[in-house]
Structure 1
């Protein structure tokens, strides 16, 4: 059996920290393309590689395809609206390229997101623009794959989480290998088929990955988790029963016999490595424990919310009491102001009465002065004889008295 190489670039820190599911499908595609180049005596050539449906939020501006194939000319097309180097928005069922524009065309985990009626058109477009080969990878309706996905969806539902990609698998239905192979045979294309992503481990890791989404500092935890798995378990999990079925399709001629090593690797027996066996054994326990942990966390979160609500009510009561006290103080202040106004009004009334009395006294004095003034005027106006006569009259009146 031809040895499948391990290039130093594939186990660099940059690639190992990729999500394990993504790392799996791009590394196995890199292995397949390495063997294709070897078979074509083109190991040093710069091939044109197209990734259909391969958009993923880039890290440091680099898409997964570019990260795995830095020495080739790469282009990613997808329906996502994104502007970046090495990306073009396009529909996989109507690719805007000439025939045989690329050496290799990849499509990883995209076929299951295309409605059933469009899948043959999608496959035909991949074949049309590829001059050498098509690498097609996707979860298929293999034994236990649909069951594993259903269990994962139920588990996420219990955690009030969801995975839109898994939901689309239900909406469109997982691809059926019989239909894919019937199309390949009708087109008289040579191909190899093999499985990847050991299913029990895939299910376990998906449970744990979603559990990590609920943790603080989850980005660093995800990176460490993925790096550990990608480094230590990738090689063990390139076998069946797999989550993903892969087709390596020659678009012209026959595939080199050396590529059969990819199929032979996937047919190996379940690994007897103790660590790998342990992962399979503890899957039910870890799943249950993870669920219990989340339930406990939810209980704590609810208690915290209850405490916050109770604390909020206490604060509201305290605010109400403070407002009542402030209202009472405001009333007391108003009452004090009212009493002060009443006192001032009383003082003003007394002062007004005093002023009125003084006014009457002054008026009486004015009246007396006016009378005296009038009398004096009358006295000065009379003749001397009249004044003498009035004076004698007053004198006689006085004597008589």
Structure 2
């Protein structure tokens, strides 16, 4: 029987992203069965998670959240300082042989360049005394196609997922190559699929739609909690998105671990809800595409409006400049008119003053003529005239 611990259904764990919850709960189920087979329920195991760094939620990373009663350590290449974390390269782990009971690696192998993958697997095995839990998307049936469709969908939303880009750059792991390495190392292992592919693809579409919404953190938490609580067990089957390898590094795996494989091989039941979700997927994709086209049209209209508004602003500025020039010209004309009027008034004043001066000159000339006439008369005549005046006065 595969256990269901109450802790796994806590609100904090159920709020994890669905694909993260899926792989860490599956690892917790496997380690519970390993402890049960070893009679070590009460033992505190040392568990290493290689490549499992995620920004801590409430100060706790996924490994610590699922294994609070064990001694846990996460190593990754990210620069981070915090409890339970150490920066290290998975292909050159800085630990002695078999210092950890269990070594996990969840969705990391596909981000290792192909030449380093065997070294990566060898390091996981070297530091694990009991078992390695290896989970990663592999090049299974339709997985590459599902990822290609998701990338195309994201491009329509003008989004991209750098993790999916690395899947293309490095290539998805080949199950045949992993199993060839396991056979060469003569290791006992179990292999099974997880993450029902049709649901993984649909949920990834919905999750990226939520990234475009306001208050998306709360919406993501509610969305993931609903899936994790109701669909986790249902989706532990093929065709899956990822392949799981549970590898014994010392001896053989207990038969109780085969329950994980048997669950994954159960036939997919006819489920109306699941069928409906499969129908909804292309509709959502098409709707999202139409939404993007509508947004692009609105953006183009807004850009055209801005361009037209800028052109109108430039035209208005030119008109204002011309009006300013015309106003300046009118002011200059008015100034000239005022000056001409002032000049006309001054000219009239000068003309009047000229006529006054001429009259005065004419009067002075007349006076001068009289004086000159008197001066020109002889002295005897002036005396005779004077005597005549006196005679007439005293007569």
| 1:281 corresponding residue in structure 2 | 279
Give the one of 175, 178, 201 matched to 2:176.
178
| 2:365 corresponding residue in structure 1 | none
| 2:241 corresponding residue in structure 1 | 243
In the alignment, is the contact (CA less than 8 A) between 1:53 and 1:107 conserved in 2?
Answer: yes
In the alignment, is the contact (CA less than 8 A) between 2:8 and 2:25 conserved in 1?
Answer: yes
1:57-99 alpha-carbon deviations (Å, 9 max, x no partner):
3333322222222232222111122223222211100011111
Unaligned runs of 5+ in 1: 358-393
| 2:81 corresponding residue in structure 1 | 83
User: Is 1:131 paired with 2:129?
Assistant: yes
Deviates more, 1:316-325 or 1:77-86: 316-325
Give the one of 98, 101, 104 matched to 1:100.
98
1:322-401 superposed matches below 5 A: 322-329=320-327, 332=330, 342=339
1:301-340 superposed matches below 5 A: 301-329=299-327, 332=330
Report how far residue 265 of structure 1 moved. Answer: 0.9
| 1:65 corresponding residue in structure 2 | 63
Distance in 1 of aligned mates of 2:98 and 2:230: 38
| 1:4 corresponding residue in structure 2 | 3
Residues 31/305 of structure 1: CA separation in 2 closer, same or farther (3 Å cut)? farther
1:307-331 alpha-carbon deviations (Å, 9 max, x no partner):
3333343344344444544454455
In the alignment, is the contact (CA less than 8 A) between 2:2 and 2:29 conserved in 1?
Answer: no
Report how far residue 174 of structure 1 moved. Answer: 1.1
Residues 334/298 of structure 1: CA separation in 2 closer, same or farther (3 Å cut)? same
Residues 306/174 of structure 1: CA separation in 2 closer, same or farther (3 Å cut)? same
1:351-393 alpha-carbon deviations (Å, 9 max, x no partner):
xx9xxx9xxxxxxxxxxxxxxxxxxxxxxxxxxxxxxxxxxxx
In the alignment, is the contact (CA less than 8 A) between 1:236 and 1:271 conserved in 2?
Answer: no
Deviates more, 1:326-335 or 1:129-138: 326-335
TM-score (norm 2): 0.81
| 1:204 corresponding residue in structure 2 | 202
Distance in 1 of aligned mates of 2:143 and 2:282: 17
Deviates more, 1:19-28 or 1:120-129: 19-28
In the alignment, is the contact (CA less than 8 A) between 2:195 and 2:241 conserved in 1?
Answer: yes
Report how far residue 334 of structure 1 moved. Answer: 6.1
Distance in 1 of aligned mates of 2:181 and 2:287: 44
| 1:254 corresponding residue in structure 2 | 252
User: Is 1:43 paired with 2:41?
Assistant: yes
In the alignment, is the contact (CA less than 8 A) between 1:233 and 1:276 conserved in 2?
Answer: no
Deviates more, 1:196-205 or 1:98-107: 98-107
| 2:387 corresponding residue in structure 1 | none
1:116-166 alpha-carbon deviations (Å, 9 max, x no partner):
111110001011111221110001111111121122222223333322211
| 2:193 corresponding residue in structure 1 | 195
Give the one of 11, 16, 19 matched to 2:17.
19
Residues 285/330 of structure 1: CA separation in 2 closer, same or farther (3 Å cut)? same
Partner-residue secondary structure (3-state), 1:235: coil
TM-score (norm 1): 0.80
Distance in 1 of aligned mates of 2:325 and 2:63: 70
In the alignment, is the contact (CA less than 8 A) between 1:138 and 1:244 conserved in 2?
Answer: yes
In the alignment, is the contact (CA less than 8 A) between 1:204 and 1:287 conserved in 2?
Answer: no
Partner-residue secondary structure (3-state), 1:70: coil
Report how far residue 339 of structure 1 moved. Answer: 6.7
| 1:233 corresponding residue in structure 2 | 231
| 2:386 corresponding residue in structure 1 | none
Residues 129/326 of structure 1: CA separation in 2 closer, same or farther (3 Å cut)? farther
Structural RMSD (CA): 3.2
Unaligned runs of 5+ in 2: 355-374, 383-395
Deviates more, 1:282-291 or 1:112-121: 282-291
Residues 313/240 of structure 1: CA separation in 2 closer, same or farther (3 Å cut)? same
Distance in 1 of aligned mates of 2:330 and 2:67: 82
Distance in 2 of aligned mates of 1:205 and 1:157: 17
